Chains A and B, each alone.
Chain A
Amino acid sequence: MKSTSSWWKYLLFVWIAVWSAVGIVLPIAGNLADLAYLKQVNAPGEIQIKVDIDHNLPAEFDPEEGMFVFQGTDGGGRKATFYVPSKPEGFDQARSLLVEARYDEDRHGVRVCQVVDVDPGLTLPYIPGLGERARIIFFHVPMAWMTVIAFLVSMWYGIAYLRKHDLEDDMKSANAAGLGLLFCLLATITGSIWAKFNWGSFWNWDPRETSIFVLLLIYGAFFALRSAIEVEEKRARLSAVYTILAFVTVPFFIFIMPRILPGLHPGSADDTSGGPVMSSGGLNAVMRVILYSLLAGFIVLFAWLMNVRNRVSRLLVRTGIEA
């Protein structure tokens, strides 16, 4: 009996859990430019912004206004006057505050409705129109990537089977496709629920939604084909051919269509932010680190799940339960 060490599996779970928690827990904070933008488009409501207190300038209670007034700068170096009903706790020691604020027309300053946190540390950027919903990027984007990576792995082993005629490769190809189907479902479901709240309906036939739908169909067709062929070698050969054939047509969807057609996702033809979120400068460093860390975690998770599934398949073959 060969025993495998398990410390890295615990490390993997901790890694994914910690980065997920960071992605969920870190507060979202905008800056004064976001406030100005919201005023410009007449959007209602307040957003959280992070402000560095300027202790060199006077900060005192103004009896005329009935407000505590202080000066501050945001992350981009923009200065503003802040009005808050009472002096926030720990104000004198604090370097920065996380406040819920809106632009105040009468005073030409920022009206603080509530102080959320003192010295908040790392924050995620506020994205107009998304707000708290921007956090989906940490889970949905890695899922969509894993769908494509699993498909690539499946095709890779399909090619390996056609070259060497080793049924082990076919088994790996099928196992990768099974995991790909799982990730594909997760990406579709998370995206669909999110779309209901952000875009108004569960499904909009945005080009990128079409592309994930086609991947779902391909995975479904792959398993339908496999279940329709009895002879192993024939099944292995034909499903390998089908994955390769599907893989050469799918780039039209995943890499070309979403970019040349107008759509709702970032990176569409009518998107001015330029390129998909991953390659554009629109993502700030904190978001980038969390996203890449989770992506790496999910890739290792995929490799481990593949390994477990392959071992199960091998056992099934050896015990004769499954030919």
Chain B
Amino acid sequence: MKTMRAVWAIFLKDVRSEVRTRYAVNALLMFVVTTLAVIMFSLAGEVMSPSAQAGILWVVMFFAAMSGLSRSFVSEEERGTTFTLQLCSGPLGVYFGKLLFNVVLVILLNIVIVVLYLLTMDQFVINQPGLFWLVIFLGSLGLAASTTIIAAIIARASSKGTLFPVLSFPILLPLLMAGIDATKLAVEDNVWDAVWPDLQILGAYIVVVVTASYMLFDYVWKD
């Protein structure tokens, strides 16, 4: 119960600090808009296949996550509030509080990305909306799960900005491959059966990464 309260308190603290700095709104939104603009320019009216569109959607989602999610721990380190947090709460509360915040942030971010993507790409039609949103939801969970622990690691290292994608990409690749494949299938009007193996991989990935992070976070967090 105490841990649950700590998780909620840390989540609320991060939301409050987010609302005050508006980092996500300003930086991430601009990042997404810029990336989409670059894609539009480079396409120059070219019509893409659904699989290519699904791939590019994941490129935007991956890099948006890479640019924003490391902040959860890096900002604590930059503001020198790590020790305060260590005093106020146990490692589990911190990990799950940060994870919850990152999950909410990524889900909102990905919803914005998909909506903007739908508005800007005329040919992008989702044939299986339920399946598509389920894949995006599971993908967001996986992105948040693995980037939270990586962010905790790189917050302790120098050259934080460049290390984050370097460390995250190999860990994220199973998720990206299954996610891209499932998104492609959902866009192309496939039935559940075709997407089921990918959904299983996504689910298993989330469970594995969260469990491993839960067991390892203590070593990362305490000096």
Provide the bound-state CA to CA distance between A234 and B158, in Å.
12
Stretch at the interface among B12-20, B91-99, B149-157: B149-157
Q: Is the CB of B163 within 8 A of A228?
A: yes
Q: Is the CB of B213 within 8 A of A224?
A: no
Provide the bound-state CA to CA distance between A260 and B177, in Å.
13
Question: What residues of chain B lie closer than 8 Å to A257, measured between beta carbons?
Answer: 174, 177
| A308: interface (CB < 8 Å) | no
Partner of B170, one of A162, A218, A256: A218
List A residues 196-246 near B (Cβ within 8 Å).
210, 214, 217-218, 220-221, 224-225, 228-230, 234, 237-238, 240-242, 244-246
One digit per residue, 1 when the CB lies within 8 angstroms of any chain B CB and 0 when it does not, for chain A 31-72 equals 000000000000000000000000000000000000000000
Question: What residues of chain B lie closer than 8 Å to A237, measured between beta carbons?
Answer: 219-220
Indicate whether A225 sits within 8 Å of B163 (C-beta atoms), given known contacts A245-B171, A257-B177. yes
Q: Is the CB of A253 within 8 A of B166?
A: no
Question: What residues of chain A lie closer than 8 Å to B205, measured between beta carbons?
Answer: 249, 252
Question: What residues of chain A lie closer than 8 Å to B201, measured between beta carbons?
Answer: 252, 256
Question: What residues of chain A lie closer than 8 Å to B213, measured between beta carbons?
Answer: 245
Q: Is the CB of B157 within 8 A of A238?
A: yes
| B223: interface (CB < 8 Å) | yes
Q: Is the CB of B173 within 8 A of A214?
A: yes
B96 to chain A, nearest CB (A): 17
Most chain B beta-carbon neighbours within 10 Å: one of A240, A248, A253, A260: A248
Q: Is the CB of A221 within 8 A of B223?
A: no
Nearest residue, chain B, Cβ from A249: B171
Question: What residues of chain B lie closer than 8 Å to A224, measured between beta carbons?
Answer: 163, 166-167
Provide the bound-state CA to CA distance between A25 and B223, in Å.
57
List B residues 191-223 near A (Cβ within 8 Å).
197, 201, 204-205, 208-209, 212-213, 216, 219-220, 223
Partner of B220, one of A220, A228, A238, A249: A238
| B159: interface (CB < 8 Å) | yes
Number of A residues with CB within 8 Å of any CB on chain B: 28
Provide the bound-state CA to CA distance between A252 and B171, in Å.
10
Nearest residue, chain A, Cβ from B169: A217
Question: What residues of chain B lie closer than 8 Å to A253, measured between beta carbons?
Answer: 173-174
Q: Is the CB of A228 within 8 A of B173?
A: no
Nearest residue, chain A, Cβ from B155: A238
Most chain A beta-carbon neighbours within 10 Å: one of B153, B154, B158: B153
Indicate whether A221 sits within 8 Å of B166 (C-beta atoms), given known contacts A241-B219, A260-B197. yes
List A residues 134-153 near B (Cβ within 8 Å).
none
Provide the bound-state CA to CA distance between A238 and B223, in Å.
11
B102 to chain A, nearest CB (A): 16
Q: Is the CB of A241 within 8 A of B174?
A: no
Q: Is the CB of B157 within 8 A of A225?
A: yes
Q: Is the CB of B156 within 8 A of A220?
A: no
Provide the bound-state CA to CA distance between A237 and B170, in Å.
19
Most chain A beta-carbon neighbours within 10 Å: one of B156, B157, B204: B157
Q: Is the CB of B209 within 8 A of A234?
A: no
Question: What residues of chain B lie closer than 8 Å to A252, measured between beta carbons?
Answer: 174, 201, 204-205
List B residues 122-172 near A (Cβ within 8 Å).
146, 149-150, 153-154, 156-159, 163, 166-167, 169-171
Provide the bound-state CA to CA distance between A224 and B150, in Å.
13
Indicate whether A225 sits within 8 Å of B167 (C-beta atoms), given known contacts A240-B219, A241-B153, A253-B174. yes
Provide the bound-state CA to CA distance between A220 and B208, in Å.
23
Provide the bound-state CA to CA distance between A228 and B159, in Å.
7
Question: What residues of chain A lie closer than 8 Å to B219, measured between beta carbons?
Answer: 162, 237, 240-241
Nearest residue, chain A, Cβ from B211: A248
Q: Is the CB of A248 within 8 A of B174?
A: no
Provide the bound-state CA to CA distance between A252 and B173, in Å.
9
Question: What residues of chain A lie closer than 8 Å to B163, measured between beta carbons?
Answer: 224-225, 228
Most chain A beta-carbon neighbours within 10 Å: one of B170, B173, B204, B208: B170
Question: What residues of chain A lie closer than 8 Å to B150, measured between beta carbons?
Answer: 245
Partner of A234, one of B156, B173, B177, B197: B156
Q: Is the CB of A241 within 8 A of B220?
A: yes
Q: List 6 A-B contacts (CB under 8 A).
A: A217-B169, A224-B167, A245-B216, A248-B208, A253-B174, A257-B174
A residues adjacent to B (C-beta < 8 A): 162, 210, 214, 217-218, 220-221, 224-225, 228-230, 234, 237-238, 240-242, 244-246, 248-249, 252-253, 256-257, 260
**Known contacts A214-B170, A225-B154, A245-B213; 5 further A-B pairs (Cβ under 8 A):** A162-B219, A229-B157, A234-B223, A244-B212, A246-B171
B residues adjacent to A (C-beta < 8 A): 146, 149-150, 153-154, 156-159, 163, 166-167, 169-171, 173-174, 177, 197, 201, 204-205, 208-209, 212-213, 216, 219-220, 223
Lowest 4 CB-CB distances: which A-B pairs, in order?
A: A252-B174, A217-B170, A228-B157, A218-B170
